[in-house]
Amino acid sequence: MYTRIMAPLDGSKLAECVLPHVEALARGCEIVDIVLIRVVTPAQHTVGDFVLPDAQVEKIDQENLESAEKYLQGVAGRVTVNGARVETKVLVGHDADTLADYAEKNGVDLIVIATHGRSGIRRWMWGSVADKTLRSACVPVLMVRAPGCVPGF
C-alpha cells in the first residue's frame, strides 16, 4: 500500500519522535523509499526598520541550507530499515505548502509528521505545520503526538 513515505523534520528532538514509527512502517509495509525532509524558510531582507543587504541575506540562506543538510544526513545515519532507501531533501519555502507540493510531485504515499499538541492561544500564536500539512496534502498524513502530550483543548 505504501512504498514511499516522507518524514518532515524541523531539527528538534520532538519532530524526531516520528522516526520509530517510520521504521516500523518501513518494516511492516515493505517501504522502498523514505524521504527525510526539512523545509528552510528564506531569510527576510528586513528586520523591523533595518534592511539587510542582499549579500547578507544570501549568506544566511546558504548557512541555513548547509545546516539543514548536515542535520538530515546525521538523522539518516540513525534510521535503520532493511531494504529501504533513505534519502534526504532540503527545500526552501513555507512549511506546509512546500511539504504538500513536494509530496504530490514526488510520488509520496504517506506523510508521517510530529505534532506539538499545542492548543488554545499557543496554537494560534505558533500555528501548526502538522495541521496545515494535513489540510493541504492530497496523500494520507499520519500525525504522531510528541511524548508528554497533555490531553484536552
**Hey, where are the domains in the chain?**
4-43+51-145
CA distances from 110 to 2, 14, 16, 47, 79 (A): 7, 19, 16, 37, 17
Q: Residue 130: its pLDDT value, please?
A: 85
Q: Give the model's pLDDT for residue 75.
A: 97
- Residue 7: per-residue pLDDT: 96
Q: Per-residue confidence of the chain (153 residues) as pLDDT tens digits?
A: 789 999 999 998 889 999 999 999 998 888 899 999 999 988 877 767 778 788 888 898 899 999 999 999 999 999 988 889 999 999 999 889 999 999 999 999 999 999 865 555 444 444 588 888 988 999 999 999 877 666 655
Query: What is the Cβ-side half-sphere exposure of residue 79, based on CA atoms within 13 angstroms?
Result: 30
Q: For position 128, what pLDDT does the model report?
A: 80
Residue 27 in grid coordinates: 518494516
Alpha-carbon gap, residue 140 to 44, rounded angstroms:
32
Phi, psi at 33, each rounded to 5°: -130, 135
Check if CATH label 3.40.50.720 holds for domain 4-43+51-145.
no
Q: What is the grid cell recorded at 105?
A: 510531485
